[in-house]
Amino acid sequence: MGAYFGVSTIFVFCLLGFSANAELFTIGAPSGSDITQALLKAFTSACQSPTASRVVIPKGEFKLGEIELRGPCKAPIEITMKGTVKADGNTNHGKEKWVVFGNINGFKLNGGGVFDGEGNAAWRVNNCHKTFECKKLPISIRFDFLVNAEVRDISSIDAKNFHMNVLGAKNMTMDNIKITAPEDSPNTDGIHLGRSDGVKILNSVISTGDDCISVGDGMKNLHVEKVVCGPGHGISVGSLGRYGHEQDVTGIKVINCTLQETDNGLRIKTWPSAACSTTASDIHFEDIILKNVNNPILIDQEYCPWNQCNKKKASTIKLANISFKKIRGTSGNKDAVKLLCSRGYPCQSVEIGDINIKYSGADGPATFQCSNVSPKLLGTQSPKACSAPVTKA
């Protein structure tokens, strides 16, 4: 069991750009020990501090059990994690989370540390991608209801389920995040976001078994820039419409990203027999490099994995004001561009500009299909746009 020292030490952090007189709480524990209780204690004290405070997890490798670090706190908190924290290597069936940072205004997490989810045993029992009825596995890091937050220089490896989940954030920046898990690890989305407003994901590298970034319902104003994704299932908005009570998605921008060896590239997916009727609008992808990506550009309003829905019903999710511009590179299959919109609600205002996607397989060349959409074409398209007939509802 770790102890923690230095509760009353007052440090001046001017050189680090941190406000003066921040209170410092350092976890003092030998490498290999379990710091769950020590971290909870340090955080609780820091949260009570009337001035800005900082919790430091030093270099080393520590065990960390399920933990919730929640405010509200009296002043901003910075957590500097220099070492590696490791989760329990058992399956943790039925648990929904490992580490939670929640309900804090003025939150920083940084330090170059690593969250190791030890997911190997759990991946073998995960069936949530195949059925509605499955036992949950813990998400590695949950960021719940953070305001004015910054997560920087942090790695996540081998999550049992999603690596990071952002819910209810307002004004949050994630910069230089590194996410790694094997290509065949199920449901290990890199960063999933929903019901948040004003999140940036910058300069990050995500290699995992599911979506690199997935955008859930209620997401507003997401800016993704300079993210390298792969292997993984690409960057996706959705799936939307699986559950009732969903909220609109709007203001999604993905620019200057690279996708390499991913299954799907840039994707918007909605379930056909949607349980709700929402709108996803103002979604823009620009300056994207593709390296051997399957299904590089895909709007799929008949998303129905494992036949968990009625494909005969048209999706009731409305898609509008969407653009794909300056997207270039190589496809791993012939389906370079597929815009499959809902029969019930054809996509509105879709712009396609300067697409240059090559496919060199024997069943080529690359194709560009559209249904229930008449995209506005700008610049040049290769392959030629909408080689299949445009059908109307």
Ligand X SMILES: *[C@@H]1O[C@H](CO)[C@@H](O)[C@H](O)[C@H]1NC(C)=O
Phi, psi angle pair for 199, to nearest 5°: -120, 135
Cα(267)–Cα(288) distance, rounded to whole angstroms?
A: 13
Cβ-based neighbours of 343, under 8 Å, separated by 6 or more: 314, 372, 391, 393
The answer to whether residue 129 is catalytic is no
In the complex, the smallest distance separating the C-beta of residue 108 from ligand X, rounded to whole angstroms, is: 7
**Residue among 128, 134, 255, 289 that touches ligand X (CB under 6 A):** 255
In the complex, the smallest distance separating the C-beta of residue 47 from ligand X, rounded to whole angstroms, is: 18
Q: What is the DSSP string of 360-374?
A: -STT-S-EEEEES--
Residue 221 touches ligand X, criterion: CB under 6 A? no
**Residue among 281, 292, 333, 382 that touches ligand X (CB under 6 A):** 281
Q: Which is nearer to ligand X, 66 or 282 (CB)?
A: 282
**Residue among 148, 292, 333, 382 that touches ligand X (CB under 6 A):** 148
Retrieve residue 119's tokens: 């997911």
Element (H, E) at 121: helix 120-125
**Residue among 120, 221, 292, 349 that touches ligand X (CB under 6 A):** 349
Residue 37 touches ligand X, criterion: CB under 6 A? no
**Most distant pair of Cα atoms in the chain: their distance:** 72
Q: Which is nearer to ligand X, 273 or 321 (CB)?
A: 321
Q: Which is nearer to ligand X, 205 or 252 (CB)?
A: 252
Residue 351 touches ligand X, criterion: CB under 6 A? no
Q: Which is nearer to ligand X, 78 or 263 (CB)?
A: 78
Cα(18)–Cα(258) distance, rounded to whole angstroms?
A: 34
Task: Please identify which of the residues 129, 163, 223, 233 carries the catalytic annotation.
Answer: 233
Q: What is the DSSP string of 207-232?
A: E-SS-SEEE-TT-EEEEEEEEEE-SS
Q: Which is nearer to ligand X, 40 or 320 (CB)?
A: 320
Binding mask 308-327 for ligand X (x = CB under 6 A): ------------xx------
CB 310: neighbour CB atoms within 10 A?
10
The letter for the amino acid at 58 is: P
Q: Which residues are catalytic?
A: 233
Residues binding ligand X (CB under 6 A): 148-150, 171, 173, 255-256, 279, 281-282, 286-287, 320-321, 349
